[in-house]
Structure formats: C-alpha cells, structure tokens
Structure 1
Amino acid sequence: MAPMQMIAVNKALRATMTKDDFDRADLSAQRDRVLESVRTLIIGATPESGSTSQLPDLGVTPAVRHDGHFFIYPSRLSAHVRAMIDTGMAQFLAIEDEAKAQNIWARKRIKFSAEITEIYRQNDQFSVISDIFVSQHGPTMNLIRDFTDFHMLKLLPVSGVMVLGFAKAYQLEGLMLDIAAYLRES
C-alpha cells in the first residue's frame, strides 16, 4: 500500500477508535523496544523565568537505562543542562535511528517530560550507573567520571507521547510512561 493510502486508512481507523480499541500489552512492548534501542536522548530545557531567553535550549547526551529508568551524565557547562538542573524539569526525545527507520517521515519516537533527580558521587548508585555507562558507551566515562562539571541525573517521567507511525500516536503517563490514551487529534 502506498504511504498516502496508509495515511488515509489509518486516519479513518483512528476516527472510530476508542481507548479500549488498542492492545496495551503490545503497545507497552513497542514502547520498551523504542526506549531500549536508543543510545542518546535529545534534551529540551527552558531557562528559569529570570533568563533573557524564554526559548528552550537543546542538546543531546548519551543515556543508559537501569531498573526501568533513564540516567544521563551531562556537563553543566551546557546551557540546556544548567536550565534542566535549575528548574528540575526537562523534555526528552528518544527517536528511532534514521538508518533503521522504514520511513523517515514516520520514525518511531517517544517525547516525554521528566523531573530530574541528581545522583551524588557519594551515593552507591553513582558507581553502579557509571559502570553501566562504561559498559554501554565505552571508556570515555572513565575519563570524565571525576569531572565536577558533570552531573549524574535520573529522569523521572511525568507524561509523554509515543508515535509509532502515521496516525499511531499515544498519550503516555507516569513514571513508567504507561499507555494512557490513543490520540485522535494533534
């Protein structure tokens, strides 16, 4: 089926669907596959209200998952990281690799808002997560592990949206980004 026909069919189906018309277990598995497939997260953080700019600062950082949570280890020297630490909130985007996407226009992705909690160096979890960074992203973590401008941050999702293709968008809620609703309109 041609992409335009697929869009029309999906739109027609979506117009008649209710929240009970989708398989939460299957969607949860697809959500987990998207989250497990990413090695980096795109960050959007808006500076505090006293800032000269009200536009979000953007960045990207390696990420790891442990016990169902994302952890990042970014440098406070970046404006988006300062904004994220100062406000305790940010938005994140986990997006399918371009090279693996069936259609560049319909890459699978999850956008979510999250509260930020810092894992301090003296916390035992800091070492555990640092070792996971080394195993998943290589020895650079050993080099930057003691740099004081870097902060280990745990992301605590609040809500989000998962897009699995044309007319396949779902509202996510809570710490585990549970499937909450099928989105019928943008």
Structure 2
Amino acid sequence: MSEHTEEAKRQAKPVAPKVKELIAKTLSVTLATVDAEGTPNASYAPFVEIDNKFYVLVSFMARHTKNLAEGRKVSAMFIEDESATKQVYARERLTVEASTSQIERDSDDWNNIVGKLKERHGKIVDVLNDMTDFILIALHPVKGAYVNGFGSAYFVDANLEIMEHRNDINHTQK
C-alpha cells in the first residue's frame, strides 16, 4: 500500500463529534429486539440522548416495548436519511448493542427525560406521557460500530468514542 493511501486512511478516521452529529440529526432510532422465544422484531422509536444514553417513550401496544421492558439486549441503529445520502450502499450509520432499564414513572428522572423528549419532539410527548400504557426505557450502549462510507467503518465503545478502524474484513473482487 502506498504512503499516500496510508495517510488518506489515517486522516479519514472520524472523531467522536461526527458520531454525535449523526445522533443529533437523527430523530428516531431503529430497534432490533427479541422476545422470550427468540423471535426478532424490528421497529423504531423517537428518542432523546442524555449523557451517552438513549431514552424512548414507548407503548405496550408495540411488540418491542415488552422486549425492552423485560431487560433484553437491543441493537439500536441511527442512520442517515436516505434522501440526504449520496450513496445508499454507504449511508452513514451508528449501530450499538445496548442493555435496557426502565425509568420509574413520575420520578425526577422520568420528569426530566420526558421534558427533554418534549423539547426535541414537541407537544405530542405530553399526550403520550398521560397515557398509562407508555413507559420510559433507557438504552445503555455497550459497544458498537460507526460507518461513514465504503472502507470507513470503526468500532465504538460504550461512551460512543471511536476506538479503532474495522479492518478485519477486507473487500475483495472476483
């Protein structure tokens, strides 16, 4: 590999603020959960990020809520809007493995987080907050991956900091 190529790869490594920028411009998180029988469920929920944790206000009418409430692991993906991407195969995205916990209704934490959700998503949060089938779940990142283009994939830690370039799988051609 040429010196120029090595230097370009080194300079291409994003810094944590790129991860934070993606999170800030994404309004909902894609959730992959499993139920007690191991049946997968893909869904989404609007979220708010506070101190590297993600909070979702979700209804028991949705399949993913029971999976989240029962403390099962979740995979959460924050992904660039399709209409904004230059190449659909290389959409910017952050995928994290996370554990979950439930926030006690009407606690100080509940009220603070619901307030932040309202700031981010509007008055609809007041309506949802008043419905008793809605619960507040925290997603606690464990580890993950950030991708911002072809050959530009990185491992991230629980604090959503870039750890290293994912170079364990190399693309090859026929």
**Bucket of the pairwise TM-score, normalised by the shorter protein:** 0.7 to 0.9
CA RMSD of aligned residues (A): 2.3
AA at the equivalent of 1:142: D
Structure 2 residue corresponding to 1:130, chosen from 87, 108, 114 = 114
SS at match of 2:24: helix
AA at the equivalent of 1:84: L
Q: Which moved more, 1:37-46 or 1:60-69?
A: 60-69
Matched-pair identity in %: 22
Q: 1:68 to 1:173 in 2, by over 3 A?
A: closer
Structure 2 residue corresponding to 1:36, chosen from 15, 24, 36 = 24
Structure 2 residue corresponding to 1:27, chosen from 6, 9, 15 = 15
- 1:182 paired to 2:165: yes
The 2-side partners of 1:136 and 1:103 are apart by 28
Aligned position for 2:80: 96
Residue by residue over 1:88-120, the C-alpha shift from the partner in whole angstroms, topping out at 9 and shown as x without a partner, is 321100001112212222110001111112111
TM-score, normalised to structure 2, is 0.85
Q: Which runs of 4+ in 1 moved over 2 A?
A: 21-24, 66-69
**Deviation (angstroms), 1:185:** 3.3
The 2-side partners of 1:125 and 1:86 are apart by 20
Confirm or deny: 8 A CA contact 2:142 2:157 kept in the other structure. yes
Pairing 1:1-186 to 2, within 5 Å after superposition: 13=5, 21=10, 26-48=14-36, 51=37, 54-174=38-158, 176-186=159-169
The 2-side partners of 1:138 and 1:150 are apart by 16
SS at match of 1:102: coil
For structure 2, the 5+ residue unaligned runs are: 170-174
The 1-side partners of 2:71 and 2:138 are apart by 14
The 1-side partners of 2:59 and 2:11 are apart by 41
The 2-side partners of 1:95 and 1:185 are apart by 23
SS at match of 1:73: strand
SS at match of 2:102: strand
The 1-side partners of 2:123 and 2:62 are apart by 22
Aligned position for 2:172: none
AA at the equivalent of 1:181: E
AA at the equivalent of 1:89: K
Alignment size in residue pairs: 166
AA at the equivalent of 1:118: Q
For structure 1, the 5+ residue unaligned runs are: 1-8
The 1-side partners of 2:30 and 2:126 are apart by 23
SS at match of 1:99: helix
